[in-house]
Copies of this chain bind each other. A is one copy, B any other.
């Protein structure tokens, strides 16, 4: 139906999360129609990002600079360190706009099933950063899944001797959430952590 170059572009687009073969076709058609306004700028932007993207050697965040924009920002509190599983979690926390410290990206969670041990995660570099002595509090923000909690416990054990304050995100009712739709675990945690009004 179209030249092999277009077919290849459709196949590449279809590998993006959220796009299937059909929507990739629609997206490519949209790009073809908006060549100067969208297709060429997107190509240039992709190449620019592709050529400059690196994992930050300090925190593991993916960014075009090294150190990344967050590690390089002098206005951010360097005594506060938030440990996350992946870059997606870092982005989610940044979107909230509520955290002004620095991050440490683990790059996954411990998982005996998938054969991922402490050596596969950025744990040693975390211990190293804490050992430098400037960090006052480590907030462990791994996911509230079995693997995330296991990883949180492991990191807590490793950091115990450093004397730093270790905290974790609060569990409870999501803002805007209805009790009727919440699972028992969340409701139990919200009850246990109840606060005076």
The range of chain A's interface size is 35 or more
Does A128 lie at the interface of the complex (its beta carbon under 8 Å from any beta carbon of B)? Answer: no
Give CA–CA (A13, B90) in the complex, Å. Answer: 20
> Which of B5, B16, B40, B70 contacts A30, CB < 8 Å?
B16
Shortest A138–chain B CB gap in Å is: 20
User: CB-defined interface of A71-92 with B at 8 Å, one 1/0 digit per residue?
Assistant: 0000000000000000110110
In the complex, what residues of B have CB within 8 A of residue A169's CB?
A: none
Asked if B5 contacts A49 (CB within 8 A), the reply is: yes
Give CA–CA (A27, B29) in the complex, Å. Answer: 18
Asked if A17 contacts B2 (CB within 8 A), the reply is: no
Within A1-34, the residues touching B (CB, 8 Å) are 1-3, 5-6, 8-9, 12-13, 15-19, 23, 25-27, 29-33
Asked if B32 contacts A53 (CB within 8 A), the reply is: yes
Asked if A49 contacts B53 (CB within 8 A), the reply is: no
Q: List 9 A–B pairs whose Cβ atoms lie within 8 Å, in order of A's numbering.
A: A1-B69, A2-B64, A9-B42, A9-B49, A16-B38, A17-B26, A29-B88, A35-B50, A39-B49
